[in-house]
Structure 1
Amino acid sequence: MASLTWRNVIVSGMGVLTDGYNLYSISLTSFFIPSSFTFSSAELGLLVAGSYYGAAIAALLFGLLADRIGRKRIYGFDVLIMAIGAGLQAFSQSYLELFLARLILGVGIGADYVLSPVIVAENAEGRNRGKAMVVTFAVMWGLGAVIAAFVEQMGLLAHLPATLLWRVVLGMGAIPAISVFFLRRKIYETMLFVSRVNPEHQDVSKIEQELGKPLPKAKDTTPFLRRLSSSALLIVAASVLWLLYDMYSSTFAIFGPITIASNLGLSPIEFTYVAQFFAGIPGQLICIYLVDKIGRKPLIVIGYAGVALWLFAYSLLLEDPRIFGLPEAQLSVSKLVGEAAILGFSFYMLNYLFSAIGPASIIGSAMVTPELVPTKVRATSQAISVSVDRLATALNITAFPLLLSHYGLGAMVGFYAGIALISTIITLFVIPETKGQELEKVVKERNVGEGL
């Protein structure tokens, strides 16, 4: 079973790497796109959020299909759509064409955010499911962001003109998507979908041969809508938790290389490398080591406590450096300088580290919903979470440039610190611990519906 688990991690992880590349590359190229097209700050927010709107639309369709006809039959088409969207970006001749390409790209990303977490979760053993999902999502997404920064750096070193550079960086996102299409079309149906939803599936014999033993089968005969309604509270809680996480995380991921990096005196590429190698990856390694040992809830709570503390400190620094014994002159035109820049850099990196230890690696890995609901409605439940999250995040990203100009970076960072505190409360009181448990056992212990 271990080989089946980690083979799915690789196949799914390559798609997530593509997600990370394509979602992050738009922030790196936003400096160069105006060399080709003219648009306002509001239109920039809409362009950056375009893939999120596409994801919100597509997720529900792919979730319902995955629960009805299976995960395997549609897996791979998500990355194919991503490749088409990414490729079209490179040939866009107007702002509208680029926005539409981002929408198409988002359709593929939305489908992948539904399918990949479900497939990895349903093929993983309870004792290592946490680390499998963190590697698939948190690690591979971050790697995709680093690759996007590296591609842009190579373009700058090659002295590509701005009008060509952004097209190359965005268009290169099609390559990892295409590379994994055929691998995804060849995987087996998931063990849980076969055993709980379709025991007559043609892949049963292949899975049993892989496992070296018969696959237990217990078809779930409870009606779909009854299963879905009985899981409604947890679906809502998980959706809100992911929505709140992405309100600050996706905003920082998209605008961090633009706004935060500028505030700290770093280039977008420098910011990406430092954030990932000095905070993101160390935090992910800590999470991988602990997630199946101490559980999801403690890591989320510890992580969010750190996020809230360091973002609040960063917010205070931006509002008045004198609070930390620094002269007000070290905040010049909303840009930290001197000792204030060093202190701000430290606060932001500590926030990034604690986020990677908990919320970014667990909530951001789409781990919550797939672990809490029955197999029969798992993809649809995940799709609801994805659609709610992507739509809310898209609206937030669209509005961020306007909110930033109106309220300032300090107030926005303080607002996101508050989000971290609210998310801690939801985690503590609503989300059950799933460490070490097989997925169907989690559902049975919650007594969801009848017939389990």
Structure 2
Amino acid sequence: MTTTLERARPSRTHWLITMYAGGGEFCDGYILSIIGVALPLITGTFRLDAAGAGLIGSASLIGMFFGGLVFGRVTDRVGRQKVYLFDIAAFIILSVLQLFADAPWQLVVLRLLMGVAIGADFAIAGTIASEFAPQKSRGPLLVVMVTMWSVGAAVAYIVGWAMLSAGPDAWRWMLASSAIPAALILFLRMGTPESPRWLLSRGRVDEARAVVEQMLGPGADLSDIEADTGAVGRYSDMFRKPYLRRTVFVCVFWACQLLPIYAISTYEPTILHSFGLATGDAAYLGAVVIQIFYVLGSLSGALFVNRGRRKLLLWSFAISALPLLGLAALDTPSAIIVVALFVVFGIASFASQCLQAIYPSELFPTGIRATANGFATGISRIGAALGTFGAPILLGYSTRLAMLVGAVIVAVGWLVSYWLAPETSGKTLSESSR
């Protein structure tokens, strides 16, 4: 019996494509977290107020809105591979330019443009990984891809903590250091084949067959992916039946997940300090420890993702709201309780992070899959940008209030998911996107 792409066992090629796609997630986690370490130094250098610091911290998220919105559509029109390489190349250049910034507005502009490049990568990375992944392995493979965000965040805190002793201008090297992982990712991505699903959608059957045969062997059967290459391909189709409900669901649940996560990740040392947990360098070290638990939480999604996408999302929202409520309710919690609550929040919320890549890829057909991924990326980053911009203002007023606001946002995510979240586990891409 001839093997098909949906029924194949995950091979070395599947894993490599997944890991290379996860490089964009790594960069996202690295960028957002390294600014959390660098921002206090930047604030001191330029004497910024809370609003100025928040603008620099959220600039890349605002850029991701435009990058996802524009380049998701571009990816569906010109192909996955071209955007896949271009955005990371732009990211390397912009990372290095941060080294020479001598005014706050320059940092805002550079991080805005970096966000555009990362937003473009988000639109394509989940799309290309899901289009190559077999049906039974799609969930676990994308769990690994999304976990790279948490790995990037943890590495950023370690790198930033190690650079703190370099003096008040250490922030320049911290921000520029993101060029190093980006260059490695660009090198590894070279040679990644074009998605056979996209090639089929453009009538390039021979090229699609060649890609699949390279992965699965001669005489590969394309029947199970041909069903996923309909003519749907206009931007406006996302806002018509049957896709409007899916578009609303993906955008809202993604935004509600990211807003508290990005706010906490960006200002974690400040938050820990406000709870009296640590001061100075020790606060950054505490953030590293918590980020490690976030990685474990993200990986735990592999245990549950094939048991039900909807169930995983609902339980994740429900459990992650509880520690935020606890942090808001407790007046003077001990260090152990603070760390324990952040660990519970991280494990619970990160366990369902994989669904940010899985749901947009499974709910939309090839003609608008990257467009939908890009649109959801953009809208979700509005929420993340609001959280990152507003967090220092809220934290300046009351840390407990900031935790309460985070819990309310998580609760909204649960309600919307309960109302709109479909179950797509156990289905091929063509079945789940109908």
Q: Tell me the TM-score normalised to structure 1 length.
A: 0.86
Q: d(CA) in 2 for partners of 1:200 and 1:346?
A: 54
The alpha carbon displacement at 1:246 in A equals 1.4
Q: 2:166 corresponds to which residue?
A: 160
- Between the two proteins, the alignment pairs up a number of residues equal to 415
Letter in 2 for 1:362: C
Question: Match of 1:199?
Answer: 204
Distance 1:273 1:397, change over 3 A: closer
CA distance in 1, matches of 2:63, 2:257: 19
Report the counterpart of residue 450 of structure 1 in structure 2. none
Alignment of 1:45-84 (within 5 A): 45-84=54-93
Contact 2:233 2:368 in 1 (8 A): no
Match of 1:305 among 277, 300, 318: 318
Paired amino acid for 1:68? R
Structure 2 partner of 1:449: none
Find the counterpart in structure 1 of residue 396 from structure 2: 405
Task: State the distance in 1 between where 2:85 and 2:308 align.
Answer: 31
CA distance in 2 between counterparts of 1:155 and 1:12 reads 28
Residue 269 of structure 1 is matched in structure 2 by: 284
2:419 to 415, 429, 434: 429
Counterparts in 2 of 1:95 and 1:203: CA distance versus 1, 3 Å:
same
What percentage of aligned pairs have identical amino acids?
27
CA RMSD of aligned residues (A): 2.0
2:94, 2:177 → 1: CA distance? 11
Query: What is the 5 A alignment of 1:18-167?
Result: 18-137=27-146, 139-156=147-164, 159-163=165-169, 165-167=170-172
Distance in 2, matches of 1:91 and 1:204, equals: 48
From 392, 409, 426, the equivalent of 2:383 is 392
Alpha-carbon offset, residue 34 of structure 1 = 3.0
Find 2:234's aligned residue among 224, 234, 240. Answer: 224
User: In the superposition, relative to structure 1, how do residues 221 and 145 fare at CA in structure 2: closer, same or farther (>3 Å)?
Assistant: closer
Q: Using the alignment, how far apart are the partners of 2:138 and 2:367 within structure 1? A: 19
Structure 1 unmatched runs, 5+? 322-330, 445-452
Task: From the superposition, tell whether residues 36 and 405 of structure 1 become closer, same or farther in structure 2 (CA, over 3 Å).
Answer: closer
Correspondence for 1:416 among 406, 413, 430: 406
Q: Secondary structure at the match of 2:166?
A: coil
- CA shift, 1:201, in A, is 6.4
Give 1:79's aligned amino acid: I
- Please give the alpha-carbon distance, in whole angstroms, between the structure 1 residues aligned to 2:423 and 2:127: 18
1:281 correspondence with 2:295: yes
Instruction: Please state how far the C-alpha of 1:144 moved relative to its aligned partner.
Output: 1.0
* Counterparts of 1:143 and 1:223, CA distance in 2: 34
Q: Is the Cα–Cα contact under 8 Å of residues 72 and 185 in structure 1 kept in the other structure?
A: no
Q: Which residue of structure 2 lines up, in the alignment, with residue 240 of structure 1?
A: 252
Cα deviation, 1:119-140, whole Å, max 9, x if unaligned, reads 1111111111111111111x21
Report Cα offsets for 1:37-69 as digits up to 9, x if no partner: 221110000000010111111212211111111
Would you say the 8 A contact 2:320–2:346 is kept in 1? yes
Q: Which residue of the partner structure matches residue 210 of structure 1?
A: 215
| 2:5 equivalent in structure 1 | none
- Tell me if the contact between 1:308 and 1:417 (Cα under 8 Å) persists in the aligned partners: yes
Match of 1:369 in 2: 360
Bigger mean CA offset, 365-374 vs 235-244: 365-374
Q: Mean Cα displacement is larger for which, 48-57 or 2-11?
A: 2-11
Normalising by the residue count of structure 2, what TM-score does the alignment of the two structures yield?
0.90
What is the aligned partner in structure 2 of residue 189 from structure 1?
Answer: 194
In structure 2, what residue type is equivalent to 1:59?
G
* 1:351 alignment partner, one of 345, 348, 358: 345
**Distance between the aligned counterparts of 1:8 and 1:391, measured in 2?**
29
Aligned-residue offset at 1:264? 4.4
